[in-house]
Amino acid sequence: MDIILCHTTADFDSLGAAVGLTRLHPGARIVLTGGAHPGVEEFLRLHRDEYAIIERRSVNPEQLRSLFVVDTQWRDRLGKAAEWLDAPHLKGIYLYDHHPGVMGDIAASHCQIEAIGATTTLIVEQLQEQNLSLTVHEATVMALGIHVDSGSLTFDHSTARDALALAWLMKQGASLTLIAEYIEPGLSDSLQELLATALETVQTEEVWGQQLGSVLLRTADYVPGLSGLASRLLELTDTDAMILLHEYQRQGDESRLTVIARSQIPQTDLNLILQTIGGGGHRKAGSAQLRNANPEEVLGQLCDRLKGQIPPPPTARELMSSPVRTIRPSTTIGEAHRILLRYGHSGLSVVNQADELVGVISRRDLDIALHHGFHHAPVKGYMTRNVKTIRPDTLLPEIEGLMVTFDIGRLPVLDAGELLGIVTRTDVLRERHEESHQLCPVHPEQGSQRWRWMREADVWDGLRSHLNPKLWQLLETAAQAAQERGWQLYLVGGAVRDVLRGMQSPQETEVVLTDIDLVVDGFHQSATVGAGVELATVLQERFAGARLDVHGAFQTAALLWHNDPVFDSLWLDIATARTEFYPYPAANPEVEASSIRQDLYRRDFTINALAIRLTTPRQGKLLDFFGGVLDLQRGWVRVLHANSFIEDPTRIFRAVRFAVRFGFEIEPETERFIRHAIASGVYERSRSLNPRTPALQARLKSELKYLLQASYWPRALRELDRLGALQCLHPQLRLTRELWRRLQLMDRGLRRFENWHHLSHWRMLLEVLLSQVEMGDGEFSRAAVAQQLQLPEETVQRLATLGERCERLQGGLKLARRPSEVVQVLEGEELAGLLLVALGMGRSLRRKVWQYLTEWAHVKPLLNGEDLKQLGYKPGPQFKEMLADIQAGTLDGDFGGSREAAIAFVCDRYPL
């Protein structure tokens, strides 16, 4: 006999999961181990006969074969049925739950515990896998289970899997009418009376802008349905968290205490709090049952622990962007509008000659002024002068209140009259979003446990555990130095991407970083242009062996270690937060000081626009303004801006490199942007207007080097060709079958001769690509493209003379019949040029080149000059001819490998 056990006071989730299991295990029966929630009881009064439910007393323990436990991991929540768990003849105990943080005491032979909205979802997924169908009544109760336990997908532990499960149940015919009827049942008369009492006696307290409520109720008997009462009380009192205690008498003088807790505060975890008194639940809902406990002491302990979990909200200093983009009152409307377009702002602060704030002007104000033709008018006539401002220590709730009350989109941050930064609506919304946001994939096999949104402490601990201890010490030292100077310091870009990928990997492996970017942002003090150099100098003094380079007008500092015993080869860049503006397509960007948000906004792809704060407060805070973590989960390379590939074509090559390297896909919209940029012909126009376009020089050459020296270069080239991106090198360049054959031959040849040549593998592959460009003059010739890519002069000349060399060598090889004749044609040719020419030859000629390179070029003559002297010949002009004949005879096998035969040949041919 197979029995499915629901926990005591069964809710819809446990009942729904149990009903689903009866479809997976035909013949299994459901036992409610100890009552049910009022809503479940009312539902079963009408629908009980539709489900395989039996009474506990009708079960013969000796006939038990398997037990299935749903929605709990504790024996004491199974009432007297817990005794069945100890039956020695059981074939198995199977447990299903959605509380992964609980260490229960049920010794199950099989467990499936995952962090999702409802246990019923786990069962639905198994039903889908086995392609089983449900009746309307089965689908309805299972849908109720997911709705109730996930708050109709509004609780923060809800996942996409729960949504898909609900969608499938609706396809199975779940009754929306019944779901609507039972999802929020009305309170019974006894609960209505308790609610009135609770509203009169509830105590509230504000902690860091959050309203906490607590209430102690006493009755003579047990009252079912208190969870609904707690939720209703939370709603009516407009509090953010509620702790409800209910004390009643049972079995003589023994007192019982029921604890129900609810919270809407993102950072709280009621499961952890209630576990301290033997209870449990979710982060936002939980319960406990106690015997003979002091209710006042329990309530005080729980409230203290709840308050301890509430962190102080961020201040304006933490939220603000700095430095602030400002203009003077005399700035024209047209110029102000141009600045807004350039930097993507929605408003500008106006300051006088003393840099004191005198007003703000919004995009809407500027648009109205331009509409009326006041392009040359100063902004002072249109700006708002009565400006609401905040202090650096103003808390988020107050900031939010000001914005809502006065309908303000941006609040300047002033400290003793000095304009430090600005907080916008976007800053507030993003902070609220990050507080409640979590990530979970749709399909369980993708590892939902690994891809949940991580708290700051999780990110910080994960960063420390996945880095080399010495590297971690380096970052800590940099963070401490920045903090002492009143700055914020962030780890940004690819290092964050790689660390997050390492943290989500099932194997706890160390992440090797060879290129690290740190960004300094203002906090208590503004970060100056030279902040990176100042921090780099501190690190150079502390960690020996590094070379310090300072490059660019923006004073970016680079610390470089080469073959260091501690850091090996490491490149550490430190710069002040900055923004970029491209004056024309494919140009080098103009750089200006900005904030960390703008610094991330200037980057290429969302997976690279990530940052981790290394300084306090909120150490370990992950900045993800563009959905980069979600794209890491999806395996997408997604660009930040629609015009990104027009501004810098090398980003096309970077997109392909990341996609192929990580096994990702280029996001569909990003691919559309790539194709549009290529089809627009912007690269050809940029090249003709600016023949030495920076993007087609250093940056494009660097990207080609990254691609062609990697082991995945074949896949990368195929992807570039699929996108039409090889046109960035030359308008007619395509990866034809012939070109592909030549690339493979060159790769094979370079590997064959790698022990006795010093050719650059990636550069030779690039030369093969460029060799397919048609000969000609002007900007699109082989040599011109090579020059634009800043390739070495020898490469430029090799490509320029390739046609002439091909014609000369092929003609000579066609006439060569003997090995010595082949050597005479090819001797003196450089290896790189010879390999390049051989690629275009037919098989017979290519075989001659191959034999020359592998055999004939290494053949030594059987006799040398010393041998000739010993034979009596005097050195002179004739020596060269004699040695050439001996070499030819040796190559052609005329001597059969015999020195004596060679000597006889010499004596006969050149008698003394």
Share of the chain above pLDDT 90, in %: 50
pTM (whole model) above 0.75: no
**How many angstroms separate the CA atoms of 516 and 573, rounded?**
6
Parallel, antiparallel or unpaired: strands 255-263 and 280-281? unpaired
Ramachandran region, residue 165 (left: φ > 0; alpha: ψ -120 to 50; beta: rest) = alpha
Question: With contact defined as beta carbons under 8 Å apart, do 711 and 803 qualify?
Answer: no
**How many angstroms separate the CA atoms of 632 and 545, rounded?**
35
Tell which residue, 39, 6, 4, 15, has the closest CA to residue 138. 15
Q: At what angle do helices 38-47 and 176-183 cross, to 10 degrees?
A: 150
Q: What is the pLDDT of residues 12-30, one digit of tens each?
A: 999 999 999 999 999 999 9
Residue 154's Cβ-count burial label (10 Å; 0-12, 13-18, 19+) is exposed
Give residue 437's pLDDT band: very low, low, confident or very high (50, 70, 90): very low
**How many angstroms separate the CA atoms of 21 and 17, rounded?**
6
All residues at 6 or more sequence positions from 755 whose CB lies less than 8 Å from its CB, including other chains = none
H/E stretch holding 467 reads none
Write down the pLDDT at residue 444: 38
| Lookup result for tokens 């059969």 | 896
Exposure string of 430-453, with b = 16+ CB inside 10 Å and e = fewer, is: bbeebeeeebbbeebeeebeebbb
Q: Which residue has the higher pLDDT, 133 or 439?
A: 133
Share of the chain above pLDDT 70, in %: 90
CA distances from 159 to 117, 164, 167, 837 (A): 6, 9, 13, 60
**How many angstroms separate the CA atoms of 84 and 795, rounded?**
81
| Lookup result for tokens 């029995």 | 3
Question: Mean of the pLDDT values across residues 857-867?
Answer: 89
Question: Mean of the pLDDT values across residues 377-400?
Answer: 92
For 763, the token pair is 């550069």
For 285, the token pair is 């809902």
Tell which residue, 233, 134, 245, 132, has the closest CA to residue 192. 233
Outline where DSSP puts E strands in 470-620: 487-492, 515-522, 547-551, 556-564, 568-576, 578-581, 590-593, 611-613
Q: What is the pLDDT of residues 109-160, one digit of tens each?
A: 999 999 899 999 999 999 999 999 999 999 999 999 999 988 889 887 889 9
Q: At 413, which amino acid appears?
A: V
Residues comprising the chain, all counted = 912
Write down the pLDDT at residue 493: 93
H/E stretch holding 166 reads helix 160-171
**How many angstroms separate the CA atoms of 96 and 856, rounded?**
74
Q: Which residue has the higher pLDDT, 121 or 701?
A: 121
* Range of weakest confidence among 113-122, 190-199, 516-525, 884-893: 516-525
Question: With contact defined as beta carbons under 8 Å apart, do 244 and 288 qualify?
Answer: no
Beta-bridged to residue 258, according to DSSP, are 246, 289
Residue 159's Cβ-count burial label (10 Å; 0-12, 13-18, 19+) is buried
- DSSP state at residue 487: E
Q: What is the pLDDT of residues 575-600, one digit of tens each?
A: 888 765 544 454 555 555 577 888 88
Give residue 555's pLDDT band: very low, low, confident or very high (50, 70, 90): low
Q: What is the CA radius of gyration of the chain?
A: 38
**How many angstroms separate the CA atoms of 707 and 403, rounded?**
49
Q: Is the pLDDT of residue 443 over 50?
A: no
Q: What is the pLDDT of residues 622-649, one digit of tens each?
A: 988 888 998 998 999 999 988 888 888 8
Q: What is the pLDDT of residues 772-811, one digit of tens each?
A: 876 655 556 888 888 888 899 999 999 988 888 999 999 9
**How many angstroms separate the CA atoms of 291 and 295, rounded?**
10
Most confident listed range (80-94, 669-683, 756-770, 772-786): 80-94
SS3 555: coil
Q: Which residue has the higher pLDDT, 321 or 349?
A: 349
Q: At 490, which amino acid appears?
A: Y
Write down the pLDDT at residue 222: 85
Mean pLDDT of the chain: 87
For 697, the token pair is 């020089």
Tell which residue, 148, 109, 175, has the closest CA to residue 17. 148
Beta-bridged to residue 10, according to DSSP, are 36
SS3 518: strand
Parallel, antiparallel or unpaired: strands 210-218 and 203-207? antiparallel
Distance of CA 572 to the CA centre of its chain: 21
**How many angstroms separate the CA atoms of 561 and 567, rounded?**
7
Question: Mean of the pLDDT values across residues 39-57?
Answer: 90
| Lookup result for tokens 């030279």 | 530
SS3 8: coil
**How many angstroms separate the CA atoms of 73 and 111, rounded?**
10
Parallel, antiparallel or unpaired: strands 611-613 and 590-593? unpaired
617 upstream amide cis, omega within 30 of 0: yes
Write down the pLDDT at residue 682: 65
Write down the pLDDT at residue 449: 42
> Measured on CA atoms in the order 718, 721, 727, 731, is the torsion positive or negative?
positive
Question: With contact defined as beta carbons under 8 Å apart, do 490 and 623 qualify?
Answer: yes
Q: What is the pLDDT of residues 282-332, one digit of tens each?
A: 888 889 989 889 999 999 999 999 999 998 888 998 888 877 889 999 999
The 3-class secondary structure across 665-732, one letter per residue, is: EECHHHHHHHHHHHHCCHHHHHHHHCCCCHHHCHHHHHHHHHHHCCCCHHHHHHHHHHHCHHHHCCCC
731 upstream amide cis, omega within 30 of 0: no
For 155, the token pair is 């609780």
Q: Is the pLDDT of residue 252 over 70?
A: no
- Rounded to 5°, the CA angle 307-312-314 comes to 155
Write down the pLDDT at residue 110: 95
For 885, the token pair is 């004949």
- Sheet with 326-327, side-by-side order of all strands: 326-327, 347-351, 357-362
Write down the pLDDT at residue 439: 39
Give residue 426's pLDDT band: very low, low, confident or very high (50, 70, 90): confident
